[in-house]
Structure formats: C-alpha cells, structure tokens
Amino acid sequence: MRTIRYHGIADELRLRVSSGVYAAGRLLPSESVMSVEFSVSRVTIRKALEILRDEGLVKARQGFGWFVAGKPVQQPLGRLATIEDQMRDSGMQPERRILEFVFEKAPRDVATILGTQQVLRVTRLNTADNEPFALVTVWCSADLGQHLSRADVERSPFYELLEVPLSGASQTIGADAARAPEAELLNIPIGSPVLRCERITSGTSGQVVLVSRHVFPAHRTEFVVELPFAEPSIAPSGLRLVD
Amino acid sequence: MRTIRYHGIADELRLRVSSGVYAAGRLLPSESVMSVEFSVSRVTIRKALEILRDEGLVKARQGFGWFVAGKPVQQPLGRLATIEDQMRDSGMQPERRILEFVFEKAPRDVATILGTQQVLRVTRLNTADNEPFALVTVWCSADLGQHLSRADVERSPFYELLEVPLSGASQTIGADAARAPEAELLNIPIGSPVLRCERITSGTSGQVVLVSRHVFPAHRTEFVVELPFAEPSIAPSGLRLVD
DNA sequence: ATGTATACAACTATAATACAAGTGTGGTTA
DNA sequence: TAACCACACTTGTATTATAGTTGTATACAT
C-alpha cells in the first residue's frame, strides 16, 4: 500500500510536537535541516509543516522560523462546562441508571481501538427530572474493569473509578437517525434525529483507556465550541532556542 | 459458462476493502502493481476497480491513485479553517456553487446578532467529487459586503475576501431532520438526519463579522474535537441543553 | 463478448533550483 | 554612542523537470 510521503512526515512531526520533543514556543529546525534529516526536498517538508499549521500545532514567521504554537488554542475548549454542571446550575436533577454491566467480547471496531478483545461494557441511561436525555455506552479493557462492580458505576462517574491517570481525549460528533432500541429508551420516535458522539480517552502514556458512545435526542441538545483564530502571537524577538 | 475474469478480481478486491486489508482513506496499490499481482492486464484491473467504484467502495483521482472511500469527512474543531483544505488532503475535489448572492433585510435573529438590518446573504452549495456535501448560508453586514462580487465568493472562501481581521468564532452544532428544500439540494431524503451548525465569527475588536449556517448530510460528515486533557466527566464537553 | 497489448494524454507528488522578502547579528561609520 | 549597512539565515513563492499515476483510445487475439 502506497503512502504519500508528506503525510507520514506530518505524522512524525506531530508526534514530536505533541510529545514535547519540540517544546512549546521553541523553534523547530529549519526546513532545510529537516529536509536533510528526512532525505526529502524542502517542498515536501513544507507540505507536512503546513498540515500541522492547519491543525494549529505550529506557526511560522518569514525570516524567523517555525515554532510550536502555545496552548491558547486548547484553553477555550477545556473551559466549556460539562453537561452535568449546566444541569445542576439550571436546577435539574441529573441521574444515571445502569442498564447493563457485562464482561464480553468487544465489537470489532472497539476492539481495534482498545487493543483488547475482552472488555467491560457499561450501558447507562442519563435522565434529567425523569426525562431521558442521553444513552451512554462505555467500554474499557476487562483488566481495568475487573476491579469494578455494578454498584460502583451506579454510584460514581466512570473516570473516578479507574486508577489510570487520564491525559486527553478525542471526540467525534455526528448526526444519525434513532434506531429502534435507543429510540424506545430515549422516548423518541424511531428515525428522529439524534446526536451521536464517540469519545476516545487516552492515558498519560498515550494508550487508549476508554471508548464511549453517546446518543442524545437532537431536539434537546447541541454542542457549543469556541474556536480561537490566529492570534497575533509573536514569539519573543531575539529568542532563538535551537539546541 | 465461462467465468468473467474481472468479476472474480472485483470480488477479491471487495473482500480486501471491506475486511480492512486496505484501510479506509489509504491508497490502494497502483493499477500496474495489481495487474502484475493478478497476472492480468491493466485494463482488466480497471474494470474490476470500476465495479467497486460504482458500488461506492473506492474512488480514484487521476494522477494520484485509488483509495478506499466510505470514511466520512471529518472536520477538526479547535481551529478556524476551511474544510475545503481538509477535503483536498483526503483526496477529494471540493467545489462551490453559489446559489444566491443578494443584499436584503436580515432575518430578525441574524440582524440582532450582526447588529444590522441590511445585510449581504450568500447561499452556496459545497460539493465534493460532484456530490453535494454542505449547504451554507453566510450573512455579513451590507457595508462589508458591498466590496464583494458574486464572482469573488465563487472563487475564494469568504474569510479571505474580507478585509477585517478575524479573531475567533463560536460554533453551535446540532442534529436535525432535513427539510424539503435542503433535502433536495443535498440529494438526500426528506427527514434524514443532518448536522446543523451555526457559526458566529468575530473580529479582533470583538464585533460580530459573519453569521453562517451550515447543513451537512449526517452520513457524510462528522466533527472532531481534540481535548488535550480529560474533563472530569465521561460526558462530552461543550454539550448543552436546548431551552 | 472478453481480455491483452500498446500508446498517449492529463494529472500528481516530489525534486531541484532560483529568487524575493523578512529577521537577527555583527561590524562599520558618522 | 547611535545609526547604518552588509551578511548569513530563515520562510514564502515560483519555475522546471521527472517519475509514476489514472483516464482513454485503438488495434488485435481468444
């Protein structure tokens, strides 16, 4: 299977940036240096860097260099309140009802993400004032889950029960039509639109810890995302920290 | 009865694609390579591949290669960029068709957000590989829009045309059922799920510059949010309840 | 009708190269 | 001391060349 060169290079550079090999605010090696390191032309290196620029990971200044963009991009996203907080603020009573708590063989896609076949699956229904508003399925590896009991997940949020420190997550948001079982549980007509969200939560060492799927009735929920734009961020002048 | 060669080859390739031997979004071996592998001519390989293309399993781009289709376009959030670049990276050919370009009185909600009654409204249809992909309506104040022509917005993304520096945006994502007019334009059945987004883009001095509404067919799009650090919750961040 | 062989056009990614424009540094000059 | 300038180095941009890819057509064999 052929791969496009600069995609692979972008992957490698993304790894270095996110893993801290290239620290925040510091200059990256120049395009020429990198082109020698990867044994490709400067054009190809640029292509890879431009991908990372589009992702907001790095920035460039003509005549100066490429440097790792700071954290400000990530700040506004993290500041958004979670749904439970908002519900409590508006005086609602959030509750969760555990529907299933089983150790089983994971669906293939989940298995490949988690890297394990045997998993613990917990399916729960979140309600607010006795109105269902979210159907959640969480998978984690059977190893991790074997310390948990059904009573545990009924009492506390999942994240508090795991002894693994969590570091980050990737969240995918899409729309879909409600299928029969979930429609019944959520008390909505079959085929009515729902928000479908898949979240992959990773540990500090980068391994995938949790996979969770959420289904929300569309008419009751929406996502809000704050998007920061290219701020005038100028790296301190005269600062060249290439080791 | 003679067995037709390329039917068998198509079966084999279909198997590889659906079983994940050829991962989604990645390139297949070139026609020449495959013709050697199957010991047939390039023409025969093409016939097999064209069968799979008709089935929507793979796509081709001249001078680039064949790649596995089916993966919905993922829009990374957390950066303010056009999705068209993203689509080009995944090997698609994005185009936009301007449906309407009118100066008019804004709907009340848009007028209150923009702070103006007289606005320029541009409605366009984004396509990828001649498949409708997004229905977008953009409003900006008539003052700002009067420098623009229909040809301008046909050629370049809206952001590049405005002389006002942009600072950030707030985006609301929800699901909905497709209504009649948009369903027809997007070539989907009425009532099928769509992603509905409202984006409010602001300038550096905080004033609202653009209001835009986007409608995406659900099966073709999803949004991705990268969260650097896990929120203290399994629930997706940014989700809010609709009043 | 089906498959092979061949040729060529159009397109893509990459390489190699050149030059413009911006930045920091250090030396020179007034 | 302060202003200036030359220089090395950077990114930004454009051009040309090339190998490899799909798109398409034609001739021919089975």
Residue A124, Cα to own-chain centre: how many angstroms? Answer: 21
- Best residue of B196, B234, B241, B242 to probe chain A, by most A CBs closer than 10 Å: B234
Question: What CA–CA distance (Å, rounded) separates A45 from A58?
Answer: 13
Report, as ranges of residue numbers, the positions in chain B whose pLDDT lies below 70.
1-3, 23-25, 70-93, 160, 163-167, 226-243
For residue A68, what are the CA distances in angstroms to A32, A46, A232?
17, 15, 14
Strand order in the sheet with A131-141: A94-105, A118-128, A131-141, A208-217, A193-203, A166-177, B221-227, B73-76
* A78 backbone φψ class: left, alpha, beta (φ>0; ψ -120 to 50): alpha
The per-residue pLDDT for A39 is 92
* Binary contact (A192, B173; C-beta < 8 A): no
Question: What CA–CA distance (Å, rounded) separates A80 from B231?
Answer: 10
Q: Give, as ranges, the nucleotides of chain D with any atom within 7 Å of a protein CB.
A: 9-15, 20-26
Q: What is the pLDDT of residues A160-213, one digit of tens each?
A: 777 777 777 778 888 999 999 999 999 999 999 998 888 888 887 778 888 989
Which chain A residues have a beta carbon less than 8 Å from that of B169? Answer: 226-227, 229
Output the six-digit token pair for A221: 């929920």
The per-residue pLDDT for A105 is 94
- What kind and span of H or E run contains A112? helix A108-114
Question: Which A residues 42-61 touch B at CB under 8 Å?
Answer: 51, 54-56
The per-residue pLDDT for A96 is 82
The answer to whether strand C lies under 7 Å from the CB of residue A63 is yes
The per-residue pLDDT for A46 is 94
The per-residue pLDDT for A181 is 92
The per-residue pLDDT for B89 is 59
Question: What CA–CA distance (Å, rounded) separates B224 from A77?
Answer: 12
- Best residue of A55, A131, A221, A227 to probe chain B, by most B CBs closer than 10 Å: A227
Contact A122, B220 (CB under 8 A): no
Question: What CA–CA distance (Å, rounded) separates A123 from A104?
Answer: 13
Q: What proportion of chain A, given as a percentage, has pLDDT over 70? A: 81
The answer to whether strand C lies under 7 Å from the CB of residue B6 is yes
Q: Which residues contact B3 (CB under 8 A, 6 or more apart)?
A: none
Contact B190, B180 (CB under 8 A): yes
Query: Would an 8 Å CB–CB cutoff place A201 in contact with chain B?
Result: yes
Question: Which B residues 108-127 touch A at CB under 8 Å?
Answer: none
Please, which pLDDT band fits residue A89 given cuts at 50, 70 and 90?
low
H-state helical runs in B38-107:
42-54, 83-89
Q: What is the pLDDT of residues A60-87, one digit of tens each?
A: 889 999 988 765 434 444 444 556 666 6
User: How much is the average pLDDT of A42-58?
Assistant: 88
* Binary contact (B231, A197; C-beta < 8 A): no
From the list B42, B60, B36, B56, the residue with the least C-alpha distance to B6 is: B42
The per-residue pLDDT for A101 is 93
The per-residue pLDDT for A207 is 84
User: How much is the average pLDDT of A147-152?
Assistant: 87
Q: What is the pLDDT of residues B206-241, one digit of tens each?
A: 788 889 898 988 887 787 776 665 555 666 666 665
Size of interface A-B (CB pairs under 8 A): 223
Question: What CA–CA distance (Å, rounded) separates A195 from B235?
Answer: 13
* Binary contact (B237, A171; C-beta < 8 A): yes
User: How much is the average pLDDT of A118-142?
Assistant: 89
Any idea which nucleotide's C1' is nearest the CA of A41?
A: C15
Half-sphere exposure of A42 (CA within 13 A, CB side): 5
Q: How many residues does chain B have?
A: 243
Contact B114, B142 (CB under 8 A): no
Q: What is the pLDDT of residues A222-234, one digit of tens each?
A: 877 766 554 433 3
Domains of chain A: 5-71 (1.10.10.10), 76-220 (3.40.1410.10)
- What kind and span of H or E run contains A180? helix A180-186
* Binary contact (A82, B27; C-beta < 8 A): no
Output the six-digit token pair for B114: 């923009």
Any idea which nucleotide's C1' is nearest the CA of A46?
A: D11
Angle between the B5-19 and B42-54 helix axes, to the nearest 10 degrees?
A: 60
- Nearest CA to CA, how far is A209 from chain B (Å)? 11
The ipTM (two decimal places) reads: 0.69
Contact A110, A139 (CB under 8 A): yes
Question: What CA–CA distance (Å, rounded) separates A207 from A203?
Answer: 5
Residue A242 pLDDT > 70: no
User: Closest chain A residue to B68 measured between Cα atoms?
Assistant: A1
